[in-house]
């Protein structure tokens, strides 16, 4: 792991690192914020998964998470959204290929060689940071849009690996949305039965979640029809699953929306992560 940059931030440290990924077959970049409490020993960590077209940098710069993470004594990790570089398959569309990995393990050419973001986040990057940084093995996960989809699917499928869960405007029901059907068919093929394990609404219906879930959605989001928050809310109600789906009046899909509620989400996770650690 190579540290590319390191900056003091709210008495902690914001770093950008690169490493060769065996899972994705290329060098990968990620951001990590270590709060000041990490100087005294390992701290819990909140993973933030970004949306379409983003890199590790967008939320790191625009989300305003570091101040809240410093206040609550938790680290934050900002992975990239896809493998990148020469020889990595891509597409002219913004919502497929580089910048649009959808947090799946691709099974269809030409994507199979590199597009394994599910395993990358769940296993490889997790192991790397635990081995090299003052991170406790206590994890929460959140994300925005495509990253909200990733956060929900990773946690719902792996409740033993994550202790808290939230999302900002997630793609909640991709098997029934143009933000999902296109990408899942490209990465996984036309057999829709293979898509279900990457659909948060279907996973929640089948498995539930061990704690409450926090979802914030802008009521003025220009992509609301593609996100389908009503599907997730319906499952929450039908299962009587503890959780909140909050429609925030006037907010759109931008990082202004994410930054407005970042503090509440960090606090939500910190309460659960510190409780789990203790």
Please provide the DSSP assignment of 143-197 as one string: EBTHHHHHHHHHHHH-TTT-SEEEEES----GGGSHHHHHHHHHHH-S-GGGTGG
Cα–Cα distance between 43 and 263 in angstroms, integer? 18
**253 noted as active-site residue:** yes
Measured CA to CA in angstroms, residue 148 lies from 5, 29, 110, 177, 216 at distances of 27, 20, 25, 15, 10
Could you say which of 68, 149, 253, 269 is catalytic? 253
**145 noted as active-site residue:** yes
Cα–Cα distance between 218 and 246 in angstroms, integer? 8
Could you say which of 21, 50, 145, 166 is catalytic? 145
- Written as six digits, the tokens of 97 are 């290929």
Could you say which of 56, 144, 221, 265 is catalytic? 221
Q: Residue 254's closest CA among 169, 179, 180, 176?
A: 169
- Written as six digits, the tokens of 118 are 């599910």
Residues with active-site annotation: 145, 221, 253
């Amino acid at each position: 792991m190579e540290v590319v940059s390191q900056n003091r931030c709210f008495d902690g440290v914001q770093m950008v690192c690169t490493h060769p990924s065996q899972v994705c077959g290329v060098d990968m970049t990620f951001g990590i914020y270590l709060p000041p409490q990490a100087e005294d020993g390992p701290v819990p960590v909140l993973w933030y998964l970004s949306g379409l077209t983003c890199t590790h940098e967008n939320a790191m710069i625009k989300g305003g998470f570091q101040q809240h993470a410093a206040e609550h004594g938790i680290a934050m990790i900002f992975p990239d959204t896809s493998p990148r570089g020469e020889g990595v398959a891509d597409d002219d569309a913004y919502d497929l290929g580089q910048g649009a990995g959808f947090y799946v393990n691709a099974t269809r050419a030409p994507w199979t060689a590199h597009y394994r973001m599910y395993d990358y986040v769940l296993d490889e990057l997790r192991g790397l940071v635990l081995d090299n940084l003052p991170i406790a093995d206590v994890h929460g996960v959140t994300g925005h849009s495509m990253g909200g989809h990733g956060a929900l699917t990773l946690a719902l499928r792996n409740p033993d690996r994550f202790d808290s869960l939230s999302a900002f405007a997630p793609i909640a029901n991709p098997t029934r949305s143009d933000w999902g059907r296109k990408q899942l068919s490209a990465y996984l093929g036309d057999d829709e039965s293979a898509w279900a394990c990457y659909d948060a609404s279907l996973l929640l219906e089948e498995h539930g979640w061990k704690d409450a879930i926090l979802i914030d959605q802008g009521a003025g989001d220009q992509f609301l029809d593609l996100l389908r928050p009503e599907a997730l809310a319906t499952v929450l109600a039908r299962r009587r699953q503890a959780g909140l789906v909050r429609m925030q009046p006037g907010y759109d899909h931008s990082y202004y929306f994410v930054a407005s509620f970042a503090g509440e989400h960090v606090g939500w996770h910190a309460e659960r992560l510190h409780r789990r650690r203790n």
